[in-house]
């Protein structure tokens, strides 16, 4: 094994799921030594035809207790990484860094009653990992998952979201989950139809969730489109909700690997 190989393992793809022309998920084997905390991400590598390796960061969809790793990806037209990634099929090799990274984890918050998980697009991934574990259900009285996509077809992982409450280790806590789907480019029954920032600003998001978002009781995790995150952070600042740092606990946590 070369020096570079010491930093990653070679895993085998076991499933490729296409959600839409621009969204797909990959599932691969998991090295026995790979450890991560729900909400973290891994660096994935793909080999180009010229033999070079391209690396990008992807949050785990799978839970820490799963024997496989799953990732949720968007296809970037002409993108160096996703163009190669989207061509992979079952049986192909995916390189996975041996170390997990990221701080979009539950230990960012020291208190709180209501946990808001606000995602757009593939930003849903870390929240699915968190929701499949037990800790989040034991720590919070209410969990509000807000998931925004452009179209019904891009509203991925609906079956998994619906099945969370029937998982044996979660069942007794299932009543705590409030799911608020948002579709911005279509009108879909049961879904809100504006940008998350607009819905927070005009009060519709809290109305749909049945709970207010405030600094005293709410803790908010944001993952997705960078502009959405920036805009939401500004709105949350107006509610005296600040980024949670090691030296200064707060109410907001974001992922910045985009």
Q: Do 164 and 131 fall into the same domain?
A: yes
Q: What is the CATH number of the domain that holds 178?
A: 3.40.50.80
Q: Do 82 and 167 fall into the same domain?
A: no
Q: Do 62 and 90 fall into the same domain?
A: yes
Q: How many residues does the chain have?
A: 258
Structural domain tally of the chain?
A: 2
How crowded is residue 55: how many other Cβ atoms within 10 Å of its Cβ? 12
The last residue of one of the domains, among 44, 79, 97, is: 97
Residue 89 lies in domain = 4-97
In sign, the C-alpha dihedral spanning 247, 248, 254, 258 is: negative
Q: What is the CATH number of the domain that holds 16?
A: 2.40.30.10
The last residue of one of the domains, among 97, 127, 162, is: 97
The last residue of one of the domains, among 73, 97, 121, is: 97
Q: Read off the pTM.
A: 0.95
Tokens describing residue 69:
């790793």
Q: Do 39 and 138 fall into the same domain?
A: no
Per-residue pLDDT of the chain (258 residues; tens, 9 = 90+): 344 578 999 999 999 999 999 999 999 999 999 999 999 999 999 988 888 899 999 999 999 999 999 999 998 888 888 878 878 899 999 999 999 999 999 999 999 999 999 999 999 999 999 999 999 999 999 999 999 999 999 999 999 999 998 999 999 999 999 999 999 999 999 999 999 999 999 999 999 999 999 999 999 999 999 999 999 999 999 999 999 998 899 999 998 655
Q: Do 75 and 162 fall into the same domain?
A: no
């Amino acid at each position: 094994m070369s020096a570079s190989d010491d930093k990653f393992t070679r895993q085998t793809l076991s499933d490729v799921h296409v959600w839409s022309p621009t969204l797909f998920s990959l599932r691969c084997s998991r090295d026995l030594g790979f450890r991560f905390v729900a909400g973290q991400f891994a660096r994935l590598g793909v080999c180009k035809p010229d033999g070079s390796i391209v690396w990008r960061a992807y949050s785990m969809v799978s839970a820490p207790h799963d024997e496989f790793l799953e990732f949720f990806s968007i296809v970037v037209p002409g993108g160096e990484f996703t163009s190669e990634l989207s061509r992979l099929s079952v049986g192909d090799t995916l390189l996975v860094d041996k170390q997990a990274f990221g701080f979009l984890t539950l230990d960012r918050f020291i208190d709180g009653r209501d946990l808001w998980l606000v995602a757009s697009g593939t930003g849903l991934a870390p929240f699915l990992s968190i929701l499949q574990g037990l800790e989040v259900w034991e720590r919070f009285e209410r969990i509000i998952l807000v998931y925004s996509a452009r179209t019904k077809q891009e509203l991925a992982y609906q079956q998994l979201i619906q099945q969370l409450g029937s998982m044996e280790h979660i069942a007794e806590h299932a009543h705590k989950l409030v799911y608020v789907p948002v579709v911005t480019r279509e009108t879909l029954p049961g879904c809100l139809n504006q940008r998350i920032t607009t819905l927070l600003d005009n009060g519709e998001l809290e109305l749909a969730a049945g709970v207010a978002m405030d600094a005293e009781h709410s803790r908010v995790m944001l993952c997705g489109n960078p502009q959405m995150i920036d805009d939401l952070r500004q709105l949350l600042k107006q509610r005296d909700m600040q980024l949670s740092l090691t030296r200064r606990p707060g109410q907001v946590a974001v992922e910045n690997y985009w």
